[in-house]
Amino acid sequence: MAITRTTTTTRHDRLATFLRVSIVLQTAALFFQAVTAGMLLSSSLGGVLHDVGSRVMYGASMLYVLAAVLAWRPGGRSPRPILYSSGFLVLASVQVVLGIAHVPSVHVPLGILMFGLSLLALGRTVAPHLPRRSTDARA
């Protein structure tokens, strides 16, 4: 039974959407972590929320790896998103270890770096769908 082009395109679109959603979730979880890190200084609830958020962020990083692998397999696309997502998972693992060990001098800057990298990954995923501006200087 042959798969039609429409079915393949629809599956590819769904997987690309899944990849975008996983990056959005990861970025939102990292932002939540930044907010709750600030709450740690002023509230006991901040510690609980930061702990719960760390688990969500780690799960979002694993989901990003899964989405990248699934988006790559069917269409023969570049494996680069798999490398990015795997890198995030490694950083998330280091972040969890540093948080448990209470090493804020590395934990905080690494969290900021991860949020910035996640924003870049999100922009890279969303940007191809935005209209491009002309770079012609004569216009």
Looking at residue 6, its pLDDT comes to 55
CA distance 112 to 109: 5
Residue 86, pLDDT > 90, answer: yes
The pTM assigned to this predicted structure is 0.81
Looking at residue 131, its pLDDT comes to 63
Rounded alpha-carbon distances, angstroms, from residue 24 to 75, 103, 114, 121: 22, 27, 13, 9
68-81 pLDDT, tens digit each:
998 887 666 778 88
